[in-house]
Amino acid sequence: MRKTEVFALLWAFGLAAGANGVTVFAAEQGVEAAAKEETETNAYVSRIVSFTDGTGMRVTYDANASRQYVYEVEKGVLRDVKVKKTDKEGNAVLEANNFEGTVELQQPEGGEKYTSIAADLFGGNTQVTYVKLPAGVTTVKAESFKGCTALKSVYLPSTVKTIEKDAFRDCTAMTQIALPKSVTVIGDGAFKGDSKLQKVCFKSEDSDGLTSIGANAFPGADEAQKLVIMAKKGGEAQAYAEKNGLTFEETAPEE
């Protein structure tokens, strides 16, 4: 009997030769194909997006990266962020997150939300360049980003009220930052040592807004000669700029 006739008979009985010459059921081939398709469907796919922050900085990042994060929250503080991975056997595992480049954090989909982050989550990181914090964060705790020497800026949501002492101290690559109108207190040395800081934009000031800027909150004229404080005229920001010999620029009223 010819090979073509043998194959036709096998096919009629729901059989076919696999790639390795072993005869397999056609139904099994369908299962294998479906499994392969499912694996390919579950493969990680990046989604690159861009936005312009309050200082005019254009930021590009992978919006799908944060979907792989598992947030560990304790008493309102984000303690750690793990990353969901798949090992060689196809099992789901959690690995430590070595933050680098642009990082977007979100609130956990379920469970406890966080209002601040632990100082050791980013503090001292030399690889991260931009961090986007989520709505719900109310406090940037002391030393949260201290010593992040590659950090150029941070997106602060409109829920942030307090920036504590030394929160962004010695972020020597930071060039600009926008502070939302919700901010009422900036602690001592919050941005001290940020020698490349050129622009601090206060989005708005009113009688119920910014009430206190601590000592040496921003680098002095001897540290950052090109630093400009941008805010509405007549508020705490202007008083701080004039007292410390920094350039003040009035911002246009919000519509």
Give me the domains of the chain, ranges plus CATH numbers.
3-41 (no CATH), 99-250 (3.80.10.10)
CB count within 10 Å of CB 177 equals: 25
Which pLDDT score is estimated for 53? 92
Q: What's the pLDDT score for residue 84?
A: 92
- The answer to whether 46 and 68 are in contact (CB under 8 A) is no
Distance CA 80, CA 118 (A): 8
Would the pTM count as exceeding 0.75?
yes
Q: What is the pLDDT of residue 10?
A: 41
Report, in angstroms and rounded to the nearest whole number, the Rg of the chain calculated over CA atoms.
27
One digit per residue, the tens of pLDDT, for the chain of length 255 reads 554 454 444 444 444 444 444 444 444 444 444 444 444 445 778 899 999 999 999 999 999 999 899 999 999 999 999 999 888 888 889 999 999 999 999 999 989 999 999 999 999 999 999 999 999 999 999 999 999 999 999 999 999 999 999 999 999 999 999 999 999 999 999 999 999 999 999 987 554 589 999 999 999 877 776 899 999 898 899 999 999 999 999 987 655
